[in-house]
């Protein structure tokens, strides 16, 4: 007796395969890690940002002070008094060459 089995084509498996599920889980896990890392860093960066902002302010302030000091020492009044101390004087007579 020959038993003939009715051919039933294999039904495609419903839902995601294990492969996809594991990939998605890994991705989500990575995202969670990134979020934890970011949250931790945001607090630290806030402090760093504040420090950098203060440093920028301090440097601008020092720049301005230096600029003003240069202006003070290069002012004609200051140069005239220093040159007089060093013995320089205005020319007594000028000879013009034609």
Q: Could you list the residues that contact another protein (CB under 8 A)?
A: 42-43, 45-47, 49-50, 61, 64-65, 67-68, 71-72, 74-77, 80, 90-91, 94, 96, 98
Name which of 24 and 52 has its Cβ closer to another protein.
Answer: 52
CA distance 91 to 81: 16
CA distance 38 to 31: 10
Q: Minimum distance between the CB of residue 48 and another protein, rounded to whole angstroms? A: 9
User: Is residue 65 a contact partner of residue 58, using CB atoms and an 8 Å limit?
Assistant: no
Name which of 55 and 71 has its Cβ closer to another protein.
Answer: 71
């Amino acid at each position: 007796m020959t038993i003939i089995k009715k051919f039933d084509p294999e039904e495609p498996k419903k839902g995601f395969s294990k492969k996809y599920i594991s990939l998605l889980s890994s991705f989500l896990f990575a995202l969670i890690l990134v979020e934890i890392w970011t949250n931790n860093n945001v607090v630290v960066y806030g402090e760093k940002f504040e420090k950098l902002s203060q440093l920028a302010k301090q440097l601008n302030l020092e720049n301005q002070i230096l600029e003003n000091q240069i202006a003070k020492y290069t002012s004609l009044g200051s140069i005239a008094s220093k040159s007089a101390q060093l013995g320089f004087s205005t020319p007594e007579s000028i000879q013009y060459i034609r």
